[in-house]
Structure 1
Amino acid sequence: MKRVIAVAALAVAALLGGAGTALAHNVLVGSDPAEGAQLSVGPREVRLTFDQPVRSGAGYNTVNVVGPDGTYWTGGEVRVEGNEVVAPVRELGPAGTYTVGYRVLSNDGHPVPGKVTFTLTQAGNGTPAPAPQDAGQPEQQGESGGMPVWPWIVGAVVVVALGLVLALRLGKPKA
Structure 2
Amino acid sequence: KLTYGDNKFLFTGDAEKSEEDGIWTNIKCDVLKVGHHGSDSSTSENFLKKVEPTYAVISCGLGNSYGHPTDKVLRRLYERNINTYRTDLQGTIVFTSDGSEISVSVSPSEYTPPSQTTTAAVTTPQEAPAQSTGTTYILNTNTKKIHYSYCSSVKTMKESNKSYTEDYDGAIAAGYVPCKRCNP
Fold shared, TM-score > 0.5 on shorter chain? no
* TM-score, length basis structure 1: 0.24
* TM-score, length basis structure 2: 0.23
Compare the two structures and name the one with the higher strand fraction: 1
Decide which structure has the larger Cα Rg and report it.
1
Larger relative contact order, structure 1 or 2 (CA cutoff 8 Å, min sep 6): 1
